[in-house]
Amino acid sequence: MKRHIVLIGLPGAGKHTVGRLVAEQLHAGFVDIDGILARREGKPITMIFAEKGEGAFRDMERKEMETALANEPAVLAPGRSTRRRTRRLTPIARRRHKSRARSSGLRKAVRDGKDALSRRLTKG
């Protein structure tokens, strides 16, 4: 895989489930931003958000997304605020994030739900 695939969708849309399926089909890595943060903090996202506040949590998400984009191409399932928060990325990271997401031609909005998208992605 030459470029990142960034899955964007509402909470519960299936980014995690579909991301794993796509990564498996492409023999690529899978990066679940919220999963990384929850493991690192040792608590669910809702608790991190409640204890540290929205601003701190969004900064954690942003930094983790920047790190993921700087690494080898993978299927990325960012947190729900990533799309609207790209303006808060550093200028270099913002350009990298937007150009990688756009240029892949594979950016998918997970709006049809995990079943429909997984069927589309697994068809030859």
pLDDT tens digits for range 8-28: 877 788 888 889 999 998 999
**Alpha-carbon distance 54 to 76, whole Å?**
22
Question: What's the pLDDT band for 49 if we cut at 50, 70, 90?
Answer: confident
Tell how far CA 46 is from the center of its chain.
Answer: 17
Query: How many whole angstroms from its chain centre is CA 20?
Result: 11
Return d(Cα 80, Cα 14) in angstroms, integer: 12
Which structural domains are found in the chain, ordered by start?
Answer: 5-122 (3.40.50.300)
Q: How far apart are CA 84 and CA 98, in angstroms?
A: 12
User: Among 2-6, 25-29, 92-96, 115-119, which stretch is predicted with the lowest mean pLDDT?
Assistant: 92-96
Tokens, residue 121: 């992605």
pTM for this prediction: 0.66
CB 77 within 8 A of CB 31: yes
Band (41; pLDDT cuts 50, 70, 90): very high
